[in-house]
Amino acid sequence: MTDLSRERAAALDAADPLASLRDAFVHDDRGLIYLDGNSLGRLPKAGAERIAQVVREEWGAGLVRSWSHWVDLPTRTGDLIGSALLGAAPGQVAVSDSTTVNLYKLAVAALDARPDRTVIVTDDDNFPTDRYVFEGLAAQRGLELRVVRSDIDEGLDLDALRDAVDETTALVSLSHVAYRSGALLDMATVNEIAHGAGALILWDLCHSAGAVPVELDATGADLAVGCTYKYLNGGPGAPAFLYVRGELRSGLRQPIWGWFGQRDQFEMGPSYDPVRGVERFLTGTPAVVAVAAVEEGVRLLAEAGIGRLRTKGVALTGYLIELAGAWLPAVTLATPVDPARRGSHVSLCHPEAWRLAQALIEENVIPDYRAPDRLRLGPAPITTRFTDVWDALDRLRRIVDDKTYERFPAEPSRVT
């Protein structure tokens, strides 16, 4: 039997090459154990300082003159995300709008590039906003939205995907890491499946960027979007990124023709004439303060290195699964056991998941609840210690064993 003592967790922390990066983040929370880094990442100290500097110096004192620093913020930050986290050469990534709006823009661009095809393929475990965006596009354009069934714990079966993608498919769009199960797809294989049928592929990287290595260029991905407020630690609702493969760029046109995609933007010419670069996928004025914070969050991830982050993520989730297996017989795992097939969060199923979450919060542990029966635990590699995982699981086991969760109402009120 393996060693389940807290001493082992402490030893793992002592050997963690990323341990010191924890101090780059704010921890004003009286020992809070935060296992929801895949929903909203922690505040980097540099992010707080950068926001204050942008607000006081660039906005307050510089005023409109500061646009000389701001105008390339979307592409500068995009290139940093691309090189540090996405395996994307410069000029292919920009930060702009929300994930939802970016998905819409890139999906329309893709559908317009395959005008004779009638099918969008996704899976039923894709994030809700993705499914809704595609549902809307299918309804508006008279297309079929083909939704492949995913396993509750193992994610999307690639043979089922192969069966669903054919010569009528315009676009395949999937989450690289599934938001509930944490199942990680093999990007290269999925790209091949889409391209084999002549379809374009659009990845949602919200739950993988910053947690697992992504190789957009090398695997031949066409399009991607992802959010910056989870593992990228850019702050609540920070603008999202989009990726458009360089060679596809000039052949694709997004539907929202805004002045931030216009050539010689400040000439304000009479007709829309989009630039050649990735800025053609921008729309309106970027939220400067929010994008600046993203840049700081990504710098810390770049410093850690995505390889080391992945190694630690596998170790943290593996340790969590090991402890859950030993201590929580009433709980079933709803995440792939194979570390190569999961991202950096783990879902545990229990019929009383809602009450367990409330009891954990009372014990100063923040988990995430997903209806109807999942406790989702996301130990962000850059800020989470092995002792955090041990303490959280130890508290959870006592909550289950002592049935202290029964004090909480069974009915979930609005979850936030």
Residues 329-368 that bind a copy of itself (CB under 8 A): 361, 366, 368
| Residue 386 appears among annotated catalytic residues | no
| Residue 45 appears among annotated catalytic residues | no
Tell me which of 70, 241, 281, 405 binds a copy of itself, using CB under 8 A: 70
| Residue 408 appears among annotated catalytic residues | no
Catalytic residue among 204, 222, 368, 394, which? Answer: 204
> Binding to a copy of itself by residue 79, rule CB under 8 A?
no
Close Cβ partners of 85 (under 8 Å, ≥ 6 residues apart): 209, 210, 214, 232, 298, 301, 302, 306
Distance between CA atoms of 337 and 248, rounded to whole angstroms? Answer: 37
CB of 270 to a copy of itself, least distance (A): 7
CA distances from 70 to 13, 19, 60 (A): 39, 33, 14
> Binding to a copy of itself by residue 36, rule CB under 8 A?
yes
* Residue 96 burial class via C-beta count within 10 angstroms: exposed 0-12, middle 13-18, buried 19 and up: buried
CB of 89 to a copy of itself, least distance (A): 25
Tell me which of 33, 42, 85, 386 binds a copy of itself, using CB under 8 A: 42
Instruction: State which H helix or E strand residue 308 sits in.
Output: helix 306-327
Tell me which of 16, 97, 222, 296 binds a copy of itself, using CB under 8 A: 97
Residues 113 to 172 in contact with a copy of itself, rule: CB under 8 A: 124, 127-129, 131-133, 135-136, 140
Neighbour order of strands in the sheet with 93-95:
93-95, 241-244, 223-226, 200-204, 169-175, 119-123, 144-148
Mapping DSSP to helix (H, G, I), strand (E, B) and coil, where does residue 368 land?
strand
Q: Based on CB atoms, which residue is closest to a copy of itself, 295 or 368?
A: 368
283 with 97: CB under 8 angstroms?
yes
Distance between CA atoms of 127 and 177, rounded to whole angstroms? Answer: 10
Catalytic residue among 229, 231, 260, 369, which? Answer: 229
CB of 135 to a copy of itself, least distance (A): 5
Q: Based on CB atoms, which residue is closest to a copy of itself, 169 or 254?
A: 254
Residues 253 to 292 in contact with a copy of itself, rule: CB under 8 A: 255-260, 262, 264-272, 283-291
* Residue 295 burial class via C-beta count within 10 angstroms: exposed 0-12, middle 13-18, buried 19 and up: buried
> Binding to a copy of itself by residue 111, rule CB under 8 A?
no
Q: Based on CB atoms, which residue is closest to a copy of itself, 104 or 386?
A: 104
| Residue 376 appears among annotated catalytic residues | yes
Tokens of 116: 């004779």
CB of 286 to a copy of itself, least distance (A): 5
Applying CB under 8 A, the span of 13-21, 26-34, 341-349, 388-396 interacting with a copy of itself comes to 26-34
> What are the start-end ranges of the H helices in 222-305?
246-249, 288-304
Distance between CA atoms of 380 and 345, rounded to whole angstroms? Answer: 8
Tell me which of 6, 15, 17, 26 binds a copy of itself, using CB under 8 A: 26
> Binding to a copy of itself by residue 410, rule CB under 8 A?
no
Opening angle at CA 123, ends 85 and 84, nearest 5: 0
Instruction: State which H helix or E strand residue 69 sits in.
Output: helix 67-70
| Residue 127 appears among annotated catalytic residues | yes
The packing angle between helices 386-401 and 6-14, to 10°, is 160
Catalytic residue among 180, 310, 376, 395, which? Answer: 376
Q: Which one, of 38, 24, 54, lies nearest residue 226 by Cα? A: 38
> Binding to a copy of itself by residue 14, rule CB under 8 A?
no
Residues 181 to 240 in contact with a copy of itself, rule: CB under 8 A: 227, 229, 235-240
Residues 293 to 332 in contact with a copy of itself, rule: CB under 8 A: 293
Q: Based on CB atoms, which residue is closest to a copy of itself, 42 or 176?
A: 42
> Binding to a copy of itself by residue 381, rule CB under 8 A?
no
Q: State the number of binding residues for a copy of itself (CB under 8 A).
A: 86
Catalytic residues: 127, 204, 229-230, 376
